């Protein structure tokens, strides 16, 4: 049967360099690799990749090998050296002329080293070239699927779930490939179901479904990935028949204890639970007058003996806000709920914090929680799924955004970037890292838009090594996925690197966010969220726009450490791209460019549309150099992007013209 899904960046087209062909005929692996599931996967991947790229099926020899063997011998060496001076999960890869030597102190490191060597070969390098030592920077490198058991995906833009069909768990060849692809970029934890645990998903932790989860968990373990589940805090009520899920109620605790024991009997390697509690209507400890720490700790205590952890989300706010109320501020909520609990969470609890204080807008400040919770394990949550950033119809390469977040200086205890906090470098903890709401589904190309897979790829690479630039990651992805044509690479690289700015240009200006169509979150609706109860207001009137979040306004700026608090507090020092997030500004006020705010809005929106046209023109110049299926997909997406960019531009600009009465200096058409 013909495979109905693409191979993403592991396509391995036949393009092995001549000098590699001579070297890759033998794989020498440490004897101790034999029978180790991860080492076996490393050998399997090398064998398959080399064969696909044009080599012959390599001979695999298990023998005593050391790093030096590669100096004299020929072939690929997989050296498992427990005393090697390399961090856990890391590898050292050296090309020595006639050989490529991968050394690691654990077999997960060998697997990552094997994928790294394949990456270099697939990018057109010789096996003698690579020389790198890589130790994954983020301890946890997780994907969160928002897949529902009926097969739908919350905020999914790439078809249906490939984990669940009609309320059943699906395990097939596609599952196996998916696991391989994710392992190849270093993912080591996957939550397979939506944080909003509804309907049949409540039963994932019952004896009926656990055996299948065990099969899935085993497949993931072969590739160094731990399975995690989203669970419902109300499970004792939903499936346990109890009346209360109070975390201090002995009956509820007893129920969880036997449930967790049962889960681990079936799935001994389960990583633990991801929980969204007291958030957007999900049940949680507040129902019983308890706090988040009491809720999370109860589960953590029970999971600990099985080696499991609790990942507790910090996406909480009062969703019943009155738009007339200008003091309550959704942006402040997570900090207000959690900072007072710092130090109260168990060691096996991690708080998972979204990158910004609102909800994955195209531009937001960084969540102040990263600089405030010094005695708690923190994990950074980003969204690879393009919920507010174009639904994988519009092109939006998100790696630059993630890098901005990681580089942000929180000034926690002196100095600490977000990267230092969530990688454990600052406080020396190991339960931390990154999680991404992922963008895959059962579409043939996995990600709806072919180029959106650069975000999936890039997210994993960034977790492994945040020092990689957005450009390097994009180049790697292009070369492996599409090929080595320099012109193709130049054009696609340029499109990817400009795409976030372009999207921002034609959508919401200067950090204000929320001008999307309510519920779907695609396309413009300037006032769609303005009189709603979600705490999402731009507050535009005939004179100006923006939310005053200074100490004179909602006081949100005060949640940052100095000097950030003062930087955001003052109009002159507030980064301009976030101006309207923090300040109310008159349309006639001048920006740093010398333009008035209103003219900036008009200009950026018209520019954004022109930039989409430029991308379309650029794509046409390479259209016949990329695979036909990809060209059809990307061309179709770009046309839809142009349509929606025009809608954004004309609706946003016309709104501001009508409300302000100020004409465009350039006299372009407003409606
Ligand atoms: C957003 C999104 C929801 C999701 C929620 C979350 O609000 O629109 O669909 O459930 O984030 O992160 O939990």
Measure CA of the first residue to CA of the last residue in the chain; give whole Å.
Answer: 54
Report residue 587's pLDDT band, with 50, 70 and 90 as the boundaries.
very high
CA 250 to chain centre: 37
The upper half-sphere exposure of residue 322, i.e. CA atoms within 13 Å in the direction of its Cβ, equals: 4
For 400, the 3-state DSSP assignment is: helix
pLDDT surpassing 80 at residue 543: yes
Q: Whose CA is nearest to atom 11 of ligand 1?
A: 359
Report residue 398's pLDDT band, with 50, 70 and 90 as the boundaries.
very high
CA distance 43 to 79: 12
Centre of ligand 1 to C-alpha 550, Å, is 27
What is the overall mean pLDDT for the chain?
A: 97
Mutate to test the pocket of ligand 1, among 201, 315, 520 (most ligand atoms within 8 A of CB): 315
Report residue 72's pLDDT band, with 50, 70 and 90 as the boundaries.
confident
pLDDT surpassing 70 at residue 608: yes
Taking alpha carbons only, the member of 406, 331, 422 closest to residue 368 is 331
Residues lining ligand 1, Cβ inside 6 A = 154-155, 195-196, 276, 315, 359, 387
Report pLDDT for 279: 97
For residue 171, the 8-state DSSP code is: -
| pLDDT mean over 444-467 | 98
Taking alpha carbons only, the member of 302, 312, 285 closest to residue 231 is 312
Centre of ligand 1 to C-alpha 155, Å, is 8
Mutate to test the pocket of ligand 1, among 148, 193, 359 (most ligand atoms within 8 A of CB): 359
**Which single residue is written with the structure tokens 């012959």?**
56
pLDDT surpassing 90 at residue 17: no
Report residue 19's pLDDT band, with 50, 70 and 90 as the boundaries.
confident
Percent of the chain with pLDDT over 70: 100
CA distance 101 to 598: 59
Region of residue 449 (phi > 0: left; psi between -120 and 50: alpha; otherwise: beta): beta
Report pLDDT for 21: 87
Mark out the alpha helices in 223-312 (DSSP H runs): 235-238, 250-266, 292-304
Report pLDDT for 361: 98
pLDDT surpassing 60 at residue 1: no
For residue 409, the 8-state DSSP code is: B
Which strand (E) or helix (H) includes residue 190? strand 189-191
| pLDDT mean over 416-438 | 98
**Token pair of 120 as six digits:** 């270099």
> Angle 628-660/597-622 helices, nearest 10 degrees?
170
CA distance 202 to 274: 13
Report pLDDT for 99: 93
| pLDDT mean over 548-561 | 98
Q: What residues are annotated to the active site? A: 280, 359, 387
**Token pair of 339 as six digits:** 């900072």
For residue 588, the 8-state DSSP code is: T
pLDDT surpassing 90 at residue 55: no
Q: Are 635 and 560 in contact (CB under 8 A)?
A: no
Residue 352 backbone phi and psi in degrees, to 5: -105, 115
Residue 494 backbone phi and psi in degrees, to 5: -60, -40
Report residue 13's pLDDT band, with 50, 70 and 90 as the boundaries.
confident
What length is written for the chain?
671
- Nearby residues of 372 by Cβ (< 8 Å), 6 or more positions away: 335, 339, 342, 412, 559, 561
- Nearby residues of 521 by Cβ (< 8 Å), 6 or more positions away: 155, 387, 388, 391
The string of pLDDT tens digits covering residues 135-170 is 999 999 999 999 999 999 999 999 999 999 999 999
Centre of ligand 1 to C-alpha 332, Å, is 17
Mark out the alpha helices in 409-452 (DSSP H runs): 418-422
Q: Whose CA is nearest to atom 1 of ligand 1?
A: 359
Task: Give whole-number Cα distances, 399 to 116, 382, 480, 494, 527, in Å.
Answer: 20, 10, 17, 14, 29
Report residue 607's pLDDT band, with 50, 70 and 90 as the boundaries.
very high
CA distance 512 to 358: 11
Centre of ligand 1 to C-alpha 197, Å, is 12
**Which single residue is written with the structure tokens 């990329």?**
626
Report pLDDT for 256: 98
Percent of the chain with pLDDT over 90: 95
Model confidence pTM above 0.85: yes
Task: Give whole-number Cα distances, 262 to 268, 270, 298, 302, in Å.
Answer: 10, 12, 17, 12
Q: Are 497 and 458 in contact (CB under 8 A)?
A: no
Report pLDDT for 12: 93
The upper half-sphere exposure of residue 10, i.e. CA atoms within 13 Å in the direction of its Cβ, equals: 23
- Nearby residues of 453 by Cβ (< 8 Å), 6 or more positions away: 8, 9, 445, 446, 447, 477, 481
The string of pLDDT tens digits covering residues 343-390 is 999 999 999 999 999 999 999 999 999 999 999 999 999 999 999 999
Report pLDDT for 220: 98
Q: Are 516 and 409 in contact (CB under 8 A)?
A: no
CA distance 593 to 596: 8
Report residue 600's pLDDT band, with 50, 70 and 90 as the boundaries.
very high
CA distance 73 to 101: 10
């Amino acid at each position: 049967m013909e495979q109905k899904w693409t191979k993403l960046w592991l396509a391995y087209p036949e393009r092995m360099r001549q000098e590699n062909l001579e070297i890759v005929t033998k794989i020498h692996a440490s004897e101790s690799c034999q029978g180790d599931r991860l080492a076996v996967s490393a050998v399997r991947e090398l064998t398959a990749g080399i064969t696909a790229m044009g080599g012959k099926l390599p001979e695999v020899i298990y023998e005593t090998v050391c790093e030096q063997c590669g100096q004299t011998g020929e072939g690929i060496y997989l050296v498992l050296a427990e005393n090697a001076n390399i961090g856990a999960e890391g590898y050292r890869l050296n090309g020595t002329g006639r050989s490529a030597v991968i050394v690691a102190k654990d077999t997960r490191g060998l697997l990552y080293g094997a994928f790294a060597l394949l990456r270099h070969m697939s990018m057109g390098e010789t096996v003698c070239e690579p020389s790198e030592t890589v130790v994954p920077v983020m301890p946890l490198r997780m994907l969160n699927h928002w897949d529902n058991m009926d097969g739908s995906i919350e905020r999914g833009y790439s078809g249906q779930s490939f984990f669940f069909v009609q309320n059943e768990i699906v395990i097939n060849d596609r599952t196996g490939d998916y696991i391989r692809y994710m392992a190849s970029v270093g993912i080591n934890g996957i939550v397979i179901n939506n944080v909003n645990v509804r309907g049949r998903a409540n039963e994932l932790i019952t004896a009926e479904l656990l055996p299948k989860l065990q099969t899935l968990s085993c497949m993931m373990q072969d590739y160094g990935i731990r399975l995690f589940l989203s669970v419902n805090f109300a499970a004792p009520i939903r499936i346990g028949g109890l009346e209360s899920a109070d975390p201090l109620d002995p009956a509820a605790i007893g129920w969880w204890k036997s449930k967790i024991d049962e889960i681990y009997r079936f799935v001994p390697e389960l990583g633990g639970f991801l929980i969204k509690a007291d958030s957007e209507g999900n049940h949680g400890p507040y129902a019983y007058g308890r706090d988040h720490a009491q809720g999370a700790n109860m589960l953590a205590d029970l999971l600990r003996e099985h080696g499991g952890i609790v990942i507790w989300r910090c996406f909480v706010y009062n969703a019943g806000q009155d738009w007339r109320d200008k003091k309550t501020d959704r942006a402040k909520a997570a900090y207000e709920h959690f900072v007072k609990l710092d130090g109260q969470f168990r060691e096996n609890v991690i708080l998972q914090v979204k990158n910004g204080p609102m909800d994955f807008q195209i531009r937001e400040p960084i969540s102040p929680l990263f600089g405030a919770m010094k005695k708690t394990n923190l994990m950074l949550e980003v969204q690879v799924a393009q919920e507010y950033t174009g639904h994988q119809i519009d092109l939006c390469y998100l790696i630059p955004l993630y890098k901005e977040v990681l580089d942000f200086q929180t000034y926690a205890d002196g100095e600490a970037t977000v990267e230092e906090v969530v990688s454990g470098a600052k406080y020396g903890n190991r339960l931390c890292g990154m999680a991404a709401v992922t963008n895959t589904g059962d579409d043939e190309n996995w990600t709806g838009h072919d180029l959106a897979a650069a975000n999936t790829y890039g997210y994993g690479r960034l977790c492994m090594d945040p020092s990689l630039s957005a450009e390097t990651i994009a180049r790697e992805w292009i070369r492996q996925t599409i090929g080595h044509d320099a012109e193709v690479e130049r054009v696609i690289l340029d499109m990817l690197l400009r795409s976030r700015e372009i999207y921002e240009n034609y959508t919401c200006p200067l950090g204000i966010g929320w001008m999307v169509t309510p519920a779907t979150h695609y396309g413009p609706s300037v006032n769609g969220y303005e009189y709603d109860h979600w705490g999402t207001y731009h507050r535009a009137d005939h004179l100006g726009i923006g939310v005053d979040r200074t100490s004179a306004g909602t006081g949100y700026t005060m949640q940052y450490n100095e000097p950030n608090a003062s930087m955001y507090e003052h109009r002159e020092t507030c980064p301009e791209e976030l101006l309207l997030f923090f300040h109310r500004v008159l349309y006639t006020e001048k920006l740093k460019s010398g333009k008035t705010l209103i003219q900036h809005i008009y200009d950026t929106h018209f520019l954004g549309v022109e930039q989409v046209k430029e991308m379309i023109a650029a794509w046409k110049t390479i259209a016949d150099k990329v695979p036909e299926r990809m060209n059809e997909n990307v061309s179709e997406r770009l046309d839809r992007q142009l349509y929606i960019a025009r809608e954004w531009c004309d609706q946003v600009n016309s709104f501001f013209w009508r409300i302000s009465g100020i004409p465009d200096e350039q006299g372009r058409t407003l409606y």
